[in-house]
Amino acid sequence: MTLLERFLFPTRRAAPEALRCRTEGLTILVTGASRGIGEALALRLGEAGAHLILTARSEERLREVKAAVEERGGTAETFALDLRDDSALEAFLESVGGRRIDVFVNNAGKSIRRPLADSLDRAHDFVRTMALNYHAPVRLLLGLAPRLRESCGQVVNVSALNLLMVPMPHWAAYQASKAAFDQCLRAAAPELRAWGIAVTTLYLPLVRTAMIEPTRAYRNGPAMDPDQVALLICRCLVSRRRRWLPWWAVPLEPGSLLLRPLLERLFERSVRKASRASRP
C-alpha cells in the first residue's frame, strides 16, 4: 500500500472479540464471494464463527473459498449461479426460503465503461448490467426480507462513491444500474428498519479488484485493498451504522451539487476534445 493510499484509506480493524460476539452463529449470505471483496469478507467472517452462504458464478472458485474458510475453522455452503438467470435465482431463493438468514451482503456487481457512441448496437450492455446490479439484488431483498425480519437482521449494500457525485461520461450503464438499487434501498430503508432490519450502504472509492482492470486509467491510481473493505464491512456489522464513505468524501456530495453546471461543462469539453483527437 502506498503512502497516499494509507492517508486516503486508513485501516481500522474491527475488534475480534466484538466481531465474534456479533456474528458467531449467524447465517450470512454474501454474493460475489468467489474473489475480491467477497472472498476477503468470507474469510474474515468464517474466522469470526459465522455460517456462510456464498454465491458466485464460478463453482471452482467457490470451492476454493469454502476450503479456505474451513481451514480457518469456519463453515460455508456454496451456490454456483448466475444472478442474472431468473430461474436460477428463484431456485436459490427456494432452497434457502425456510432457513434463518441474519445478514445479506449485496456485493456482486458488474462494471462497464464504454462511450455511448460505442454502445449504439450494444443495448445488451445496459440490460445485463441492470440485471446484475439492480434486478438481482431487488429480487434477493424481496425474497430474504421475511427471514431478515424474523432475525432482526441486516442488509449491507456494497455501493460506489461516484453515485454521490455528478455522473461521469462513459459510465451510463454502470452508474444507472448502481443508482437504481441505491435509490431502491434508500426508499425501502424506513420500512425495513421498522421491521428491525438494519440497512447499511458503503459508498466505496476504487477497490483494487479485477473489476477495475479493464479501465487503464484506474490501474495505477490510489485504491482500497479488498481486505480493507472486508474489515470495514465487519465494523459495520458490529456497529450497524447506516452508511459509510471515505473521510475525505464527506464534502463531495454537497460540493458536487453546487458545482454541477461547471463539472458538466468540463465533461462536455473533455468528450469533444477526445472525439476530435480520435478522428482520422
* Those residues with Cβ within 8 angstroms of residue 43's Cβ, 6 or more apart along the chain or in another chain: 65, 68, 69, 72, 74, 230
Could you tell me the CA-to-CA distances from 241 to 131, 194, 214, 222, 263 in Å, in that order?
Answer: 28, 15, 33, 26, 31
Round to the nearest angstrom and report the end-to-end CA distance of the chain: 41
Among 198, 114, 94, 191, residue whose Cα is nearest residue 148: 198
Catalytically annotated residue among 134, 174, 203, 218: 174
**φ, ψ of residue 57 in degrees (nearest 5):** -80, -30
Burial class of residue 209, CB neighbours in 10 A (0-12, 13-18, 19+) = buried
Query: Is beta strand 198-204 parallel, antiparallel or unpaired with respect to 75-80?
Result: unpaired
Q: Is 174 a catalytic residue?
A: yes
**φ, ψ of residue 93 in degrees (nearest 5):** -65, -35
Written as nine digits, the cell of 8 is 486516503
3-state helix, strand, coil in the chain (%, to 5): 55, 15, 30
Residues that are catalytic: 174
